Structure 1
Amino acid sequence: MSKKPNPVLIDDENPEWTVADFAKARPASEVLPQIFGAKLAQEILKPRGRPRAEYPKERINIRLSHEVVEYFKSAGDGWQTRIDAALRQFITERQGR
């Protein structure tokens, strides 16, 4: 049983790509400089988002007492970051001894 496409969802201005379309396709880094010029193309192609941290945080599992978790959660979102800050402060104070 063949399923008929929903006519409301058919986009005549943006048809599905064929094998020939994929064969003609070129990377944006090749096409954009011809359309917008090298300087603007470089700006458009510049990676976005947060840069990778030199030492990214590690995902771990840790068991904490109910009181500790409730204390940090009671201040709202960011409770895990506050626990991290408290542990960093503990390390700093210990190194000063």
Structure 2
Amino acid sequence: MNKKSISRKSLTDWERLEKMNDEDIDLSDCPEVTPEMFAKAIVKRGGIPVTKSKAQVTLRIDRDVLDWFKSQGHGYQTQINSLLRAYMEASK
């Protein structure tokens, strides 16, 4: 087995980045996130278990919204929960 390290020193100028304001960041090559893109997002947390105790609830949502999530296949309830969690955390 080759014991040579494959990691390299970062070429990023972290000091310059830390001094930047939000207004200084060029986002021209980043597309705006659309509701469709957000709906397809999958929230993953590295190393942190997402499974917590769950509560069964009755929730009234528009039929077309439910049908769309169901059409995404197995795990649609988990996807709905992940999107609600992402919204909750973003709103904190």
TM range (shorter): 0.3 to 0.5
| Higher Rg of the two aligned structures | 1
Normalising by the residue count of structure 1, what TM-score does the alignment of the two structures yield? Answer: 0.40
Instruction: Give the TM-score of the pair, scaled to structure 2.
Output: 0.42
Which fold has the larger relative contact order, with Cα–Cα distance below 8 Å and residues 6 or more apart in sequence? Answer: 2
